[in-house]
């Protein structure tokens, strides 16, 4: 197992969470979100579960943050609907007070606060106005950004505008797996573009305030063709544009990938080209979320993008996701070579779900320990190969609301009993704490 001393001096070890997944949205005056609407419709979420109580972090944040003593950083998000219950207009001071206390509590524990402004809980009122398909959302998001930064901007170490734009747009508007649950190509193209525009507007506002350390968090997957047949090679290349290049390319070059233009181009808003300058303004860092690999084959009888996944025989997580640590190295080196160069990268999410059980007061999650250890090795290897990776955040600090999978899938380093809210640190947590110990440079 690698240890802290094997990583660069200023490398940050942390854990990540998001507001709706842990806080308990029923508390503190938060407004309804499109996830509440989505979860209320039978069939969308396992057991129709929602984030009303979640981990009750809203009341338990102090004890939760105590568990991070010894780490360097904490990645969390503010909830738009907690700050602005209707998305715009009246501010919920109680919500801002909560984030104010939270940031202070993070700092008191010697942790750098890594803020994400949007991690998916769109206020329901804005969803009713078209949500991410409505171009006006860019301005609404900019206003929300200013309100949050007025309160906590003086104390956060870094700001990400949006978490996983691919999920916000493609997974939610094309595949229909996440709120708002659409399967509509026009809505998808507009959501893709408006997410980018909202990022651009928020970056402009943040820069104008003199805020630094600004970035975005994108999710990537390792991809491979199901065979060497030309059609499968082409399918893998198409899906690479859809999955991996859809956001990094416009952000870094101001252009959409070829397969995106072929599939979504005619659905993009009029004069979309005029926005690309704002969208591709320089960032200070990029967040990389990496979990798994997909194997792609051609599916010519299916609509665009006419690709399909096949299951292959390998170790998988509780989500059924392939465990493929080498893909993290592939992703970091590809990004560095093609897009980011010297710009700092942070692995802002990496982790696995497992059907963890508390037995005699402990959770022996050896699979997760192995997962973490092997992914850290690949980060280390990528740094050796010249990638400017500056931190690793385990997803997630604790078991939480895994969106359409409800509370069944456990990603945490800390086990949460959702009946009693009891926290039990898993063996992987103890291992990571040892790895990052400063006194002996780790284990």
Residue number with CB closer to ligand IFM (392 or 395): 395
Total Cβ atoms within 10 A of residue 198: 28
CB 87 within 8 A of CB 140: yes
Q: How far is the CB of 164 from ligand IFM (least distance, A)?
A: 6
Which of 395, 399, 413, 429 is in the footprint of ligand IFM by CB under 6 A? 395
Pick the closer one to ligand IFM by CB: 211 or 348: 348
Applying CB under 6 A, does 38 fall inside the site for ligand IFM? no
CA 167/CA 162 separation, integer angstroms: 10
> Shortest approach of ligand IFM to residue 110 CB, angstroms?
25
The DSSP code for 273 is G
Residue in 402, 410, 431, 436 binding ligand IFM, rule: CB under 6 A: 402
> Using an 8 Å Cβ cutoff, are 3 and 442 in contact?
yes
Q: How far is the CB of 246 from ligand IFM (least distance, A)?
A: 16
* Minimum distance from residue 230 beta carbon to ligand IFM (Å): 33
* HSE-up of residue 277 (Cα within 13 Å, Cβ side): 2
Residue from 4, 12, 14, 18 binding ligand IFM (CB under 6 A): 18
Element (H, E) at 68: none
| For ligand IFM, the closer CB: 21 or 378 | 21
For ligand IFM, give the closer residue by CB, 205 or 410. Answer: 410
Closest of 431, 434, 345, 428 to residue 382, by C-alpha = 345
Which tokens hold the place of 293? Answer: 């690999």
Q: Report helix, strand or coil for 268.
A: coil
Q: Is 221 in the site for ligand IFM (CB under 6 A)?
A: no
Instruction: State the catalytic residue, choosing from 49, 164, 221, 402.
Output: 164
For position 336 contacting ligand IFM by CB under 6 A, the verdict is no
Which runs of E-coded beta strand occur in 276-316?
285-298, 307-310
Output 321 or 339, the one with its CB closest to ligand IFM: 321
Q: Is 275 in the site for ligand IFM (CB under 6 A)?
A: no
> CA-CA distance, 72 to 16, in Å (whole number)?
12
CB neighbours of 415 closer than 8 A, spacing ≥ 6?
A: 356, 358, 363, 398, 399, 423, 424, 425, 426
Q: Taking CB under 6 A as the criterion, which residues in 112-171 touch ligand IFM?
A: 164
Residue 76: CB minimum distance to ligand IFM, A: 12
β-pair partners for 391? 12, 346
- Rounded to the nearest whole angstrom, what is the least distance from the CB of residue 54 to ligand IFM in the complex? 12
- Contact track, ligand IFM, 354-393, x by CB under 6 A: ----------------------------------------
Instruction: Kindly tell me which residue out of 240, 349, 356, 365 binds ligand IFM, with binding defined by CB under 6 A.
Output: 349
Under a CB-based contact definition with an 8 Å cutoff, are residues 225 and 233 in contact?
A: yes
Q: How many residues bind ligand IFM (CB under 6 A)?
A: 8
Contact residue for ligand IFM among 125, 289, 317, 388 (CB under 6 A): 289
Task: Provide the 8-state DSSP code for 269.
Answer: P
Catalytic residue among 23, 49, 221, 349: 349
Minimum distance of ligand IFM from residue 311's CB (angstroms): 18
Q: Which is nearer to ligand IFM, 23 or 349 (CB)?
A: 349
Confirm whether 349 is a catalytic residue.
Answer: yes
- Where does residue 255 rank: exposed (0-12), middle (13-18), buried (19+ CB within 10 A)? middle
Neighbours of 47 (CB within 10 A): 10
DSSP states along 346-380: EEEEE--------BTTB---HHHHHHHHHHHHHHH
Active site residues: 164, 349
Interface residues with ligand IFM (CB under 6 A) are 18, 21, 164, 289, 349, 395, 402, 411
């Amino acid at each position: 197992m690698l240890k802290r001393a094997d990583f660069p001096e200023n490398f940050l070890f942390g854990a990540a969470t998001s507001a709706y997944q842990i806080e308990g949205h029923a508390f503190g005056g938060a407004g309804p979100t499109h996830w509440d609407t989505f979860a209320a419709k039978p069939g969308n979420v396992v057991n129709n579960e929602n984030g009303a109580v979640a981990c009750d972090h809203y009341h338990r944040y102090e004890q939760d943050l105590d568990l991070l003593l010894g780490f360097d950083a904490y990645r969390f998000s503010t909830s738009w609907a907690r700050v602005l219950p209707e998305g715009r207009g009246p501010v919920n001071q109680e919500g801002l007070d909560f984030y104010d206390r939270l940031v202070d509590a993070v700092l008191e524990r010697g942790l750098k606060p890594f803020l994400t402004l949007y991690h998916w809980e769109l206020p329901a009122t804005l969803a009713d106005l078209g949500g991410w398909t409505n171009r006006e959302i860019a301005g609404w998001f900019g206003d929300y950004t200013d309100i949050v930064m007025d309160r906590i901007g003086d104390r956060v170490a870094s700001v990400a505008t949006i978490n996983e734009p691919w999920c916000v747009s493609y997974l939610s508007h094309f595949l229909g797996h996440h709120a708002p649950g659409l399967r509509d190509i026009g809505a998808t193209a507009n959501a893709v573009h408006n997410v980018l525009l909202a990022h651009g507007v928020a970056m402009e506002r943040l820069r104008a305030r003199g805020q630094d350390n600004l970035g975005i968090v994108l999710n990537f997957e390792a991809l491979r063709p199901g065979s060497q047949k030309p059609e499968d090679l082409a399918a893998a290349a198409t899906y690479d544009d859809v999955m991996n290049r859809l956001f990094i390319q416009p952000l870094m070059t101001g252009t959409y990938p070829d397969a995106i233009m072929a599939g979504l181009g005619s659905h993009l808003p009029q004069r979309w080209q005029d926005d690309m300058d704002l969208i591709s303004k320089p960032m200070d860092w990029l967040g990389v979320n990496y979990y798994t690999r997909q194997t792609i084959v051609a599916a010519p009888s299916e609509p665009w993008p006419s690709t399909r996944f096949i299951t292959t025989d390998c170790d998988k997580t509780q989500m059924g996701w392939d465990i493929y640590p080498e893909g993290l190295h592939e992703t970091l080196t590809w990004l560095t070579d093609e897009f980011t160069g010297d710009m700092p990268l942070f692995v802002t999410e990496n982790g696995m779900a497992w059907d963890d059980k508390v037995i005699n007061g402990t959770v022996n999650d050896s699979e997760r320990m192995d997962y973490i250890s092997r992914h850290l090795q690949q980060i280390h290897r990528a740094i050796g190969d010249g990638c400017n990776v500056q931190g690793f955040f385990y997803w997630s600090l604790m078991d939480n609301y895994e969106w359409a999978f409800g509370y069944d899938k456990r990603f945490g380093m800390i086990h949460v009993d959702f009946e009693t809210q009891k926290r039990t640190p898993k063996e992987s947590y103890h291992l990571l704490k040892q790895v990052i110990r400063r006194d002996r440079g780790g284990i």
